[in-house]
Amino acid sequence: MLKEAYKDKNILLTGGTGFLGTAMVEKILRSMPDLGKLYLLVRASDKKSAGERFEEDMLASAAFANLREEKGESFEEYAKEKVRILEGDVHADFLGLGESELSELSENVDVVIHSAASVVFDAPLDAAVGSNVRGTLGLLRLARGWGKKPLFIHISTAYVAGTRSGMIPEEPPLESSPNGTYLDPEQELVGLDSAVREVGMSSREREMSIRLEADARRELGMVGEEYEVAERFEKLRKAWVRERLVERGTERAKELGWHDVYTFTKSLAERMVLRERGENPLIILRPAIIESSYREPYPGWIQGSRMADPIIMAFARGILREFPGDPDSLIDIVPVDHVVNATLAVASRRPEEPEVYHVASGERNPLRYRDLYDYVRGYFLENPLRDSGGRPIYPHEWSFPGRKVVERWLKAEIVGLKVANAVVSRLPDGHLATDLRGRVGRADKRSKMSLYYSRIYGPYSTMDSTFSTKNTARLFKELPEAEREEFPFDIAEVDWEGWLVEAHLPALTTRPDRKKRRKAVEKPGEVAAIFDVDGTLIGSNVVSYYAWLRMQEIPRPLRPFWLAGFLTKIPYYWGLDKVSRTHFNRAFYKNYRGWDTERAKHLGKASFSGFTLERIFPEALAQLRSHKEKGHRVILLSGALDFLLEPMRDLADDVLSAKLQEEDGEFTGELSGAPVAGEARARMLASFARRRNVDLSKSYAYGDSISDLPMLEAVGNPVAVNPDKRLAKAAKENGWQVRRWKK
């Protein structure tokens, strides 16, 4: 009997804060009150200790709601009494634990359940090997020396079968890889380590360094300082290394017959624990695709995003218009509570020889890819997601043309978009170019995401293998009837349509388990409020300012004549501004050529009372003051000239603006640096934020023109003020706030 087998026994669980681990901790606490102690290895985060993560993150999960209600006020005390938190890391030497903690484990642990792993299908090779192989071996080698020779349960995956077809038995791995290549796991690890070192050395070669430095300077543009270039260079180098390691891991996996580096390294881990288990009993548990719960802790409980979920949600959002897959192939899904109960059932055993158990559905309760598609599409036709404008998104109808056809379509689309991007990137900076670049960028992102999903998940929707579950079914039947009720893992009981439509899909779209985020404490100056000036803070523009300044230098009787001549140029400037704010600024500021700089600065000060004051939006000032009261850093970011904004410095903490070159006490009419417009404005803001430790993701920005779009997109809280037609459209599409301020 399960409960009897666990009486006064002690379990060490890794990966306890993950999806499967959280469900297992909840089940153990709720259904195994006579268990001695549950040791939980938890890694501390940057902001929380292991104990705080357990109390604030795990126990606060909706998974524990039923147990919390049952125990009432004694819940916390009960959990702390049963669970011993060990602050450590499965990747560290000796698990990152001290001698006394290791000694305690050696004396007490009866069962080790190793659930910690990297489940990223396209992880870098070094990360996948480190997490899935070396972390597993480090734990096993420790357990081999412990006093009770604990049972070692290695949570693997059914997909270690790779590209093998037919019925996959519940047996240890063969000496060959899925495509029949002889595989010595120790030698394979040596080769993989060599590949990682080779990539690291290549990233530091002279030619590569020159290229990456050039890329860093180009990305930062004219506003990048040397230390910023060095920081950006190192980020680019690490990104290049990561990309190469992802490629090398995927290539090697496919070369041997696995779909990806995840299943490849999980199989290597299986092979190594079989070699190095020593006298410890060993069980390998291989779940298929783990999804939300069927019954416990309640139907549809889920944490994070599981394997099938990104595809389902991309389909629901209209991103996946077609997806590779054989409609008659099996999609092997298992509810998380079935995996938990099966794990606890096998953990009550102590076999002399290693045993393997599949927790899968294909053999006894098959779910076809076409059926999954029909259930999901039917659900979202009745319960569509909505876009930022509140309009329903109805999913596309798939025709299942096959993986090769889908990927050929997507590759052709990406090539076409690459050409389109090359064309629009050469257009002069301006509203039209910004709009076109946005459209091309969004289409490119959608196509690349679809191709990514196809390559990563496509192989799992075209498999022609079935995972045998004879051992698992026999184990379930051997349980007493009462425990079959309390620890159910008979996959034949699952009603796929009912579970998907009534539990899983509603959970994906509403996520009732998601903990409310605590409002982060803001550091002084960390949050900024960035205000455009002309059209946002003040109902004016650079043309009006220039006209006012120029009129101060002309005798009153002559002003109407000058103004009449100047007005004839307005259509030209208006048209230039519609095409490109950058080119407009360069052209218009030539009007200042030959102006005496001191006289201009004097007029700039006079402009505040004579021109600016009556054009300020009172609501803008109120909003600005509100940000100051909250301790936010107020920034004026404008394409206007610095001497015109000088009188407004008292309103803000910082003023970022355009500046004219000077020569012999006069303006040359040429800008010093890039015009503060469009992408350049966003780059200037990003550079400023890096220097002053401003968190743009928490910051606010206010702008009125489509030329402000890059600035607004750079912050977490964009606000469109009196927006022009194009910005109003962008704000609506993105669901941004829109304000109407009056003089």
Look at residue 313 in the predicted model and tell me its pLDDT: 86
Task: Confirm whether 708 is domain-assigned.
Answer: yes
342 part of a folded domain: no
- The mean pLDDT of 619-639, rounded to a whole number, is 92
Q: Which of 240, 262, 291 is the last residue of a domain?
A: 240
pLDDT band for position 224 (cuts 50, 70, 90): low
φ/ψ of residue 553, rounded to 5? -95, -5
Query: What CATH number does the domain containing 573 carry?
Result: 3.40.50.1000
Judged by phi (left if over 0) then psi (alpha if -120 to 50, else beta), residue 562 lies in alpha
Distance between first and last Cα of the chain? 79
- Judge whether 665 lies within some domain: yes
Domain with 217, as residue range(s), is 204-240
Question: Percent of the chain beyond pLDDT 90?
Answer: 50
Query: 467 has which bridge partners?
Result: 168
Is 699 a member of any domain? yes
Tell me the range of 261-275, 519-533, 726-740 where mean pLDDT is highest.
261-275
* Domain annotation covers residue 437: no
- Spatial separation of the C-alpha atoms in residues 490 and 484, rounded to whole Å: 9
Three-state secondary-structure class, residue 361: coil
Q: Give me the pLDDT at residue 448, please.
A: 81
Q: Of 217, 240, 263, which residue constitutes the final position of a domain?
A: 240
Q: What is the mean pLDDT of the chain?
A: 88
The pLDDT value given to residue 189: 96
* pLDDT tens figures, 329-347: 999 999 999 999 999 999 9
Q: Which of 224, 240, 256 is the last residue of a domain?
A: 240
How many residues would you count in the chain? Answer: 743
515 pLDDT higher than 50? no
What's residue 529's pLDDT? 94
pLDDT the model gives residue 519: 44
Alpha-carbon span 3 to 25, nearest angstrom:
15
Q: Is the pLDDT of residue 180 over 80?
A: yes
CB 147 within 8 A of CB 45: no
Per-residue pLDDT tens for 289-331?
999 999 999 999 998 777 778 888 888 888 877 777 788 899 9
Give the pLDDT score at 430: 57
Give burial (CB, 10 Å; 0-12/13-18/19+) of 471: middle
Q: Is the pLDDT of residue 5 over 80?
A: yes
Is 304 within a domain?
A: no
- Judge contact between 217 and 229, C-beta under 8 A: yes
Band (pLDDT 50/70/90 cuts) for residue 183 is: very high
Count other C-beta atoms under 10 Å from residue 574's C-beta: 11
d(CA 619, CA 596): 36
State residue 230's pLDDT score.
87
**In 181-299, beta strands by DSSP E:** 282-287, 289-291
Identify any residues that bridge with 700 across adjacent strands, giving them in sequence order.
529, 717
| pLDDT for the residue numbered 516 | 41
Phi-psi group of 594: left, alpha or beta (phi > 0 → left; psi -120 to 50 → alpha; rest → beta): left
Q: In total, how many domains does the chain have?
A: 2
Residue pLDDT, tens place only, 37-63: 999 999 998 888 999 899 888 888 899
> Which tokens hold the place of 574?
């208006």
Distance CA 721, CA 49 (A): 44
pLDDT for the residue 524: 67
Beta-carbon contacts of 384 under 8 Å, excluding residues fewer than 6 positions away, are: 316, 392, 393, 394, 395
Per-residue pLDDT tens for 700-718? 999 998 888 888 988 989 9
Q: What is the pLDDT of residue 221?
A: 62
| pLDDT at 144 > cutoff 90 | yes
Cα distance between residue 495 and residue 509, in whole Å: 20
- Confidence grade of residue 636 (pLDDT, cut at 50, 70, 90): very high
Contact 573, 670 (CB under 8 A): no
Position 622 in a domain: yes
- Whether 197 maps to a domain, the answer reads no
Instruction: Give the pLDDT band (50/70/90) at residue 742.
Output: confident
Mean pLDDT of 420-432: 69
In angstroms, the CA 436 to CA 612 distance is 35
